[in-house]
Chains A and B, each alone.
Chain A
Amino acid sequence: MEAIKFEKVYFSYEDGEETDDELFGNRPTFSLDGIDLTVQEGEFVAVLGHNGSGKSTLARLTNGLLEPQSGKITVLGIDTGADKNIFEVRKNVGIVFQNPDNQTVASIVEDDVAFGPENIGMPRKEIGERIDFALNAVGMQEYRYATTTRLSGGQKQRIAIAGVLALKPKIMILDESTAMLDPRGRKEVLDVVCKLNKEEGITVLLITHFPEEAMLADRALVMDHGKIVMEGEPQEILAREAELEKYSLTLPRSLKICRALQNGGLDIADSYSVEEIAESIAEKVKKTGAGTQPTTSENREELRWCEDGRGEIVCENLSYTYNEKSAFATHALCGVDLHIPTGAFYGIIGHTGSGKSTFVQHLNALIKLPTAEKKYKEKKNKKNASTVASTVLKVNGYDLSDKKTDFLALRRSVGMVFQYPEYQLFAESVYEDVAFGLKNFRKEMTEAEVTDAVREALETVGLSYEEVKNRSPFELSGGQRRRVAIAGVIVTKPEILVLDEPAAGLDPLGKEDVMKLLHKIHADWCKTVIIVSHDMDEISENCTGAAIFSEGKVLAARSPKELFQDGEYTQKAGLDLPFTAKLVNALKNRGVEIDCDLTTADFVAKILAICGNGADSAKGGGYDA
């Protein structure tokens, strides 16, 4: 039987959502524009599409959270349009949403999983069995009595899946359920989903914007402007570069490298697996007879220490404990030593809870050293004087251990962009929001000077000043809001810019755009840019140096090349390797030594050079190709 069937389904949000898009003119915009779709029972279907393409609407229509304007939707033969069927439909179609925090009802895991069965009036004994079954299926039995807020993102999403599973649905929809997770959490969730599909025979609709995730499915769909524009096997669909580009999607990283090599004249087949790509490269290298010519790559990290310490961070023996003297004390930092030179584009990596966020909060004194507190008196703290005194923290030339330091000036020169910065916007207009920091820091500025600075900042982040200045930040799209938030920080012209997961939650194209923007800011505005990231590829492509944090300590701080090459440090910290590093290692196992700085561009150039295709032609094959 068909699990899901859409017949000529049209849907638009009430009042036909206002749109400034010239393309559409006065035509009502449909979120779903005549969708025909059939999903067979037991099938695993991935739905790809950029933000606003109608993917989420599709999910909500399937379980009756929304009703179509016209057309018919049936789920397992049940018509979703009839009100009396609504609970039957919802019982059979479970949805897991994006934000793990906003779909948990209860404070205790067990109670939350019980919520669904309780709603349909199931007897107590059976609910207990359902909880066992659901927690078992997602591998979270031991957390049955745990507090939901204490879990990691991946665990929270697994609980959300369990909460849906407890109703024993035949169909499960994951509406970008992995978008807010780190790689480890993402893997946890996807493993569970694959298992449910294979072992329990649950039909899965995986809505995502990561091409790599779509690879897991039997079939992939691409949506654009409310229409299904591509359909077929994931391997086949994800290779159609030109079409994907048209719908604002990207190739998987593996294919990007294959294509860049092909463009450079190396005749290798498309492949999604590291081993296969390495195999065919190794074959080519051996065939061309050039053998292994170790060409050395310059280390990207330029150490530029300067006299006044501008743009530089020196940190020695930094420790920090949350909730000191309470039952919940946690040691976030235990003696961090880290030097970040001027001019660096620096990466800080590590798992959630490794101390990286605590560390960056020290950089502009959001967490002050005890010696910098107003109340601090040297005599009083004689006992810990020895440990406290040996802590050194100098940022941009300011001594953060001294309470006489001008902390306002420090904060002006060290910009800080937090995770999901768009959620911190508050003003009535974009102009007011961007000018907010400037007016706080530099009260002496005239309105004209402020206007100039705001204009410059907005244009830098790629927004048109005239167009957005009077608009409410809440009218803008997610990506635009993030740009406004970044503009609101760089407007004070900080010398060091720190960003906590600047690309989190964005689709691949959005991520690339943000990285390009940061390089631009690095070149034109700030001496030093520091990004906190979970994404190893992001680090290897963009950073001159990086530090791995693990358990409150710096495990290693090197250039990406040294950090990732033998995989020793990442393994210790439980992190993945960037794709290029995996390739280099796979090639090494086949006797081909490549010495590259682990950017896609350099990797491709080195391979082509070895194979005698000349480095020039590979220049265009950069990471954003």
Chain B
Amino acid sequence: MRDVAFGQYYPAKSFVHKCDPRLKLVFLIVYIVAIFLCKSFYALGACALVFLLIAAFSGVPFKSLFRSVRAVIFLVVFTAILNLLFYNGETPIWEGFFLTWEAVYFTLFLAARLFLLVLGSSLLTLTTTPVSLTDGLEGLLFPLKWIRFPVHELALIMSIALRFIPILTDETGRIMNAQKARGTDFETGGLIKRVKAITPILIPLLISAIRRADELGDAMDARCYSGSKKRTKYKKLKFTWRDLIAFLVMGALLAGVIVMKIYLPAVI
């Protein structure tokens, strides 16, 4: 198990966890495109069905899955109110009332779409470690090498950043504690006071980050690092039968949504 102490990765050994990160990334993109192609509740329902199917095979409890939605509830409610009030519909719910059926449909549709988007993205981060996400991204961006885009460097920067997140988080905690012990008050006071209280944390943290970067640079040099030239890569991502199944599901979803877009009446 490649566990991580940060991010929202949920450790498990499910079908979805074992899929190739490149495929998962592509799947997410297709899923998002499909959601935006949806013009009817049926199509959206199809997307929801696919999502539920994957979620059921992911081994991630629904509770942790829906925790990620909490953050966007406010946004959904806010847009819902605006839509209800300002959408120009034609059939009022009852005579003389400002709310129209169209506004209600439209609002529900948007809310469902937003939830599905967020749920899909969190399912990816819940089932994929940041490290393999980086690997996947590097794999997907690989063709850009031919236009001299520094794919390898970008991937290395990302993986080093990921590797130092827990270290710098610890360090922040330590420095915060040290300054708290010296009487800094982070909990009370106005905005300006609180921002001021951060200085004694930021400066040591910045210095430490620079020092670490310097030492890491030396350590990388000492291990013959010289950029991407003639560098090989040990870890190779491989597609398996799981990825084939996922690929077929993905194709079916896209095709289904397109067909429905053509033949079904649109809500919006």
Chain A residues at the B interface, C-beta cutoff of 8 Å = 60, 63, 65, 87, 90-91, 94-95, 97, 99, 101-108, 110-111, 114-124, 127-128, 131, 145, 147-150, 160, 163-164, 167, 327-328, 361, 364, 366, 408, 411-412, 415-416, 418-419, 421, 423-427, 436-437, 440-441, 474, 488-489, 492
Q: B204, A425: Cβ atoms under 8 Å?
A: yes
Q: B166, A437: Cβ atoms under 8 Å?
A: no
Instruction: Find chain A residues with CB under 8 A from B191 CB.
Output: none
Chain B nearest CB from A80 CB (Å) reads: 13
- Docked Cα-Cα span, A118 to B235, in Å, equals 10
In chain B, residues 195-227, which have Cβ atoms closer than 8 Å to a Cβ of chain A? Answer: 199-200, 203-204, 207-208, 211-212, 215-216, 218-226
Select from chain B the residue with minimum beta-carbon distance to A374. Answer: B187
- Determine the main DSSP class of B at the interface with A: helix
A-B contact pairs, 26 of them (CB 8 A): A65-B221, A87-B224, A91-B224, A95-B222, A97-B219, A101-B167, A103-B219, A105-B156, A105-B219, A108-B2, A111-B131, A118-B231, A118-B234, A121-B230, A122-B232, A149-B166, A149-B167, A160-B219, A164-B222, A327-B11, A418-B174, A418-B177, A418-B178, A423-B171, A440-B185, A489-B182
B40 beta carbon closer than 8 Å to chain A: no
**A102 in contact with B212 given A90-B222, A91-B224 (CB within 8 Å):** yes
- Docked Cα-Cα span, A328 to B1, in Å, equals 14
Instruction: Find chain A residues with CB under 8 A from B203 CB.
Output: 426
- Docked Cα-Cα span, A164 to B220, in Å, equals 10
Select from chain B the residue with minimum beta-carbon distance to A367. Answer: B177
Instruction: Find chain A residues with CB under 8 A from B177 CB.
Output: 361, 366, 416, 418
Q: A412, B219: Cβ atoms under 8 Å?
A: no
Chain B nearest CB from A461 CB (Å) reads: 15
Select from chain B the residue with minimum beta-carbon distance to A101. Answer: B167
Chain B nearest CB from A256 CB (Å) reads: 34
B73 beta carbon closer than 8 Å to chain A: no
Select from chain B the residue with minimum beta-carbon distance to A474. Answer: B207
**A124 in contact with B232 given A63-B222, A327-B11, A418-B174 (CB within 8 Å):** yes
Instruction: Find chain A residues with CB under 8 A from B4 CB.
Output: 107, 147
Q: A415, B159: Cβ atoms under 8 Å?
A: no
Select from chain B the residue with minimum beta-carbon distance to A119. Answer: B224
- Which 5 residue pairs spanning A and B have beta carbons closest together? A440-B183, A437-B182, A103-B219, A416-B181, A426-B203
**A436 in contact with B200 given A111-B235, A121-B231, A167-B224 (CB within 8 Å):** yes
In chain B, residues 153-201, which have Cβ atoms closer than 8 Å to a Cβ of chain A? Answer: 156, 159-160, 162-163, 166-167, 171, 174-175, 177-185, 199-200
Q: B163, A366: Cβ atoms under 8 Å?
A: no
Instruction: Find chain A residues with CB under 8 A from B182 CB.
Output: 436-437, 440, 488-489
- Docked Cα-Cα span, A328 to B207, in Å, equals 30
B213-253, CB under 8 A of A: which get 1 and which 0? 00110111111111000111111100000000000000000
Chain B nearest CB from A409 CB (Å) reads: 10
Chain B nearest CB from A276 CB (Å) reads: 40
Q: B183, A441: Cβ atoms under 8 Å?
A: yes
- Docked Cα-Cα span, A412 to B200, in Å, equals 18
- Docked Cα-Cα span, A361 to B167, in Å, equals 19
Chain B nearest CB from A433 CB (Å) reads: 9
Instruction: Find chain A residues with CB under 8 A from B162 CB.
Output: 107
Q: B178, A145: Cβ atoms under 8 Å?
A: no
Q: B232, A127: Cβ atoms under 8 Å?
A: yes
Select from chain A the residue with minimum beta-carbon distance to B220. Answer: A105
Q: B159, A106: Cβ atoms under 8 Å?
A: yes
B3 beta carbon closer than 8 Å to chain A: yes
**A117 in contact with B234 given A90-B224, A364-B181, A408-B183 (CB within 8 Å):** yes
Instruction: Find chain A residues with CB under 8 A from B232 CB.
Output: 117-118, 121-124, 127
Q: B223, A115: Cβ atoms under 8 Å?
A: yes
Task: Select the residue from A106, A361, A492 with max chain B CB neighbours within 10 A.
Answer: A106
Q: B178, A416: Cβ atoms under 8 Å?
A: yes
Instruction: Find chain A residues with CB under 8 A from B167 CB.
Output: 101, 149
In chain B, residues 80-105, which have Cβ atoms closer than 8 Å to a Cβ of chain A? Answer: none
Q: B223, A102: Cβ atoms under 8 Å?
A: no
Instruction: Find chain A residues with CB under 8 A from B262 CB.
Output: none
- Docked Cα-Cα span, A474 to B208, in Å, equals 12
Instruction: Find chain B residues with CB under 8 A from A416 CB.
Output: 177-178, 181
Chain B nearest CB from A483 CB (Å) reads: 16
Instruction: Find chain B residues with CB under 8 A from A127 CB.
Output: 232, 234
Task: Select the residue from B131, B220, B234 with max chain A CB neighbours within 10 A.
Answer: B234
Chain A nearest CB from B10 CB (Å) reads: 7
- Docked Cα-Cα span, A1 to B174, in Å, equals 49
B147 beta carbon closer than 8 Å to chain A: no
B5 beta carbon closer than 8 Å to chain A: yes
Instruction: Find chain A residues with CB under 8 A from B2 CB.
Output: 108, 145, 147
Instruction: Find chain B residues with CB under 8 A from A94 CB.
Output: 222-223
Instruction: Find chain A residues with CB under 8 A from B180 CB.
Output: 366, 411
Instruction: Find chain B residues with CB under 8 A from A116 CB.
Output: 223-224
Q: A99, B215: Cβ atoms under 8 Å?
A: yes
- Docked Cα-Cα span, A108 to B235, in Å, equals 11
Select from chain B the residue with minimum beta-carbon distance to A87. Answer: B224
Instruction: Find chain B residues with CB under 8 A from A164 CB.
Output: 222-223
Instruction: Find chain A residues with CB under 8 A from B233 CB.
Output: 118, 124
Instruction: Find chain B residues with CB under 8 A from A90 CB.
Output: 221-224
- Docked Cα-Cα span, A355 to B222, in Å, equals 36
